[in-house]
Amino acid sequence: MTQRVKKQLALLNAREYRNRRADPPMDPKEADERFEETMMGEAQRFCYAVSCEKEAVFYGEDLFGFNRYCKGAISRGNFGNVVIDYAKILKSGLCGILDDVKRNRAHADAYANEFYDAIETFYAACFDICDTYRSAARKNGNDRLASALEQVPRHPARDYYEALVMLRFLSYILRLNRCTLLPLGRFDVYMKPYYNASIAKGVTREEILELTELFFISINFDTDLYIGIQKGDNGQSLVLGGCDREGNEVFGELSEICLKASEELCLIDPKINIRVNKSTPISLYERGTKLTKQGLGFPQYTNDDIAIPYLTSLGYELEDARDYAMAACWELIASGCGADTPNRHRVVFPEVVDIATRLDLVECKSFDEFLSRVDQRLEAHCNNLMKKYPSTYNDRTDATLLSSFISPCIERGRDAKNGGAKYFNVGFHGAGISTAADSLCAIKEGVFERGEFSAEELVSAIKANFEGYDEILKKVLSYPKMGNNDDRADSMGAFLMEKAVKYIHGKPTPSGGVFRLGTGSAMGYVTFADKIGATADGRLAGTPFASSFSPSPIAKLRGPLSNIKSFTKFDMRKICNGGPFTIEIHDTVFRNEEGEKKVAMLIKTFIDREGHQMQINAVNRDVLLDARDNPDKYPNLIVRVWGWSGYFVELEKPYQDHIISRTEFTV
């Protein structure tokens, strides 16, 4: 890390810069009233926001600028979480896009002209703020930035630095226009020409690394103003590797530099995703594991062998499927031409099973009969979700500026929400699959196969949150659970997923797209779990489900190998909207190269077995503190203590404290 990077990082981490921001001059509610909900109204609102940003703000020896002048409480936009066409914007500049607008005016209808007028108004304000920064940079003696701003954003970027300035600028204006979740897409693909140009000009790889690090730092400024569901949920995910539109592997020097930058900085943004496939060499996983070791919870791996066929099966063209990127968390989205809404609703599997248990189980004479009731309720649940999706979007607000960056909105003269984008599909999460599968398994084993208790007894036990039903609770807890490579539980998961796929995958949406299904939970594993009482698997009321595609938190597991086998039994090619298999590994495992290599082998094993997506967490202090106070939540947290491993919750408190103190510096 160079001195300059260190200084900027210190500035960021000190957070004092936040105190200097001016109070919001504009109340978003007031603005909502003042500006019409038309495309032009949106543009005018943006012009106003730009005018509130009175001065250029630089921090330290800032090479990028575009920091917020005012606190400007920006109400959350309602459109975002798409990957804009970075390649095109870098290649043509905003003036190039305006040329496209002019050309397309020739055959424009009234709607298109309104759209184009708005874009021109937006861009004029963009140029204003750009000029503010350019003259301020010149005045401050920041000639490098000033010169770059003579080229970008108006004109095409010519080298790596100019391209980065363009990205910083785009992020600034889009967020000023209320777009909260803003993924960075396939950085090592669209930045490669500019990287090559700089290298050809004699820029060294060390200089590229420094620039990349400074850029990564810059996108962490002001993130407190753009909060998604939680702090840190700002969608700045970045994808590395995978194949290009022609099918050739792209992971290369620049990808390597990004990993290194992320590893050195230990910042939450950008969140790194790596695309892999069965031919990915172990060395890449080893490289990624060095980043995992930092305890940030990424990189996240996504398997091209599953993702690409999944997307083509939904109607994405092969080239677009190969060019997929990540939305804010883990959802697959098309690069530059998609307006997919990848997380519209959730199939809550445990809720379906729970309702069937409480209402239908007692009447059922056989397990098969019960399963068919579950199936009926699942179908109704899925249909209901699909019905909830509105047939048209009236709330066009906030889509206009973003749409000018999504293909082929300009050509079509339509914003992304109204038919401008090539893809307009709708994704559903699939939450709590393990809890649902374990519950089915418990019913099958306990009521029908072993006859250890009756359906009535089980239902009463669940209704009583198992209070006074200790024997039944003990039994259901002892039955097979997903995550132990036991077909009795895993087959239940397969049943539920297969059926949900049947009801959702590829079904048409009212607005011309298709529905997609995934295995993510987002915050649903807590929020939905709260709404459901105790479940048949022995989960007590108030206990969360697993996060995304993972064993239930109450399952006592054999270990990571059985766990991986359990979760790689299903054909994921039809249920790959996103939602990773998540595994926690204590960071002491990463303490030397041998441990790191084995973690890499574990990830490769998951991918080679056709797992779709994986997240590995080197467990950190916060989790451990929580585990100390709530041991029941973490029965399977394994810690390497010395030459041996143990369950964290089984250690005595002083030793737990010791391990916690050891993790102090990992994050």
Partner 1 sequence: MRGRIFSIEEFATFDGPGIRTTVFLKGCPLKCTWCHNPEGQSFSAEYVRSPNGCLACGACIAHAARRADGSLLLTEASKNACPRELVRLCGEDVEVGELCERILSNSDIFHSTGGGVTFSGGDPLGQSEFLLACLSYLNGKTHRTVQTCGYASKDVFLRVLDHCEYMLFDLKIMDRAAHLAYCGVDNAIIHENYSALVRSGVDFVTRVPLIPGVTDTAENMEAIARFISGLGVQYIELLPYNSMAGSKYGSLLREYKPRFDPKRKLCWGSDIFKHYGIVSKKM
- Positions touching partner 1 (CB under 8 A) are 485, 558-562, 564-565, 589, 592, 594-595, 598-599, 601-602, 604-605, 608, 631-632, 640-646, 649-653, 655, 658-659
Give the residue with the Cβ less far from partner 1, 255 or 485. Answer: 485
The values of phi and psi at residue 241, to 5°, are 75, -170
**Cβ closest to partner 1, residue 63 vs residue 589:** 589
H/E element holding 614? strand 613-619
The CB-of-558 to partner 1 minimum distance in angstroms stands at 6
Q: Is the dihedral of CA 78, 84, 90, 95 positive or negative?
A: negative
Nearest CB to partner 1, comparing residues 341 and 491: 491
Cα distance between residue 406 and residue 183, in whole Å = 13
> Taking CA 217 as the corner, what is the angle to CA 213 and CA 220, rounded to the nearest 5 degrees?
150
* Closest CB 542 distance from partner 1, rounded Å: 17
Query: Would you say 179 and 77 are in contact if contact means Cβ atoms under 8 Å apart?
Result: yes
User: Amino acid identity, residue 45?
Assistant: R
> Which residue, 245 or 597, has its beta carbon nearer to partner 1?
597
**Cβ-based nearer residue to partner 1, 19 or 592:** 592
Q: How far is the CB of 239 from partner 1 (least distance, A)?
A: 27
Least distance from partner 1 to the Cβ atom of residue 503, Å: 33
Task: Report how far residue 415's alpha carbon sits from residue 398's, in angstroms, rounded to the nearest whole number.
Answer: 10
User: Smaller CB distance to partner 1: residue 352 or 564?
Assistant: 564
* Minimum CB distance to partner 1, residue 59 (Å): 41
Task: Select 300 or 566, whichever has its Cβ closest to partner 1.
Answer: 566
Q: What are phi and psi of 466, to 5 degrees?
A: 65, 10
| Run of H or E including 30 | helix 28-34
As measured in angstroms, the least distance from the Cβ of 620 to partner 1 is 18
Closest CA to 334 of 310, 358, 362: 310
Maximum Cα interatomic distance, the chain, rounded to a whole number of Å: 83
Instruction: Provide the minimum distance between the beta carbon of 91 and partner 1 in the complex, in angstroms, as a whole number.
Output: 43
Least separation in angstroms between CB 594 and partner 1 = 7
The Cα 213–Cα 269 span in angstroms is: 11
For residue 321, give every residue at least 6 positions away whose Cβ sits within 8 Å of its Cβ, in sequence order, or none.
307, 308, 309, 311, 312
Q: Least distance to partner 1 from the beta carbon of 474, Å?
A: 9
Cβ proximity to partner 1: between 374 and 599 the closer is 599
Least Cβ distance, residue 289 to partner 1 (angstroms): 12
Q: By C-beta, is 644 or 665 nearer to partner 1?
A: 644
H/E run at residue 310: helix 304-313
Q: 338 and 422 in contact (C-beta within 8 Å)?
A: yes
3-state class (DSSP) for residue 336: coil
**CB hemisphere CA count around 198 (13 angstroms):** 21
The residue among 76 and 558 lying less far from partner 1, judged by its C-beta, is 558
What is the Cα–Cα distance from 545 to 354, expressed in whole angstroms? 13
Rounded-to-integer distance, Cα 491 and Cα 506, Å = 23
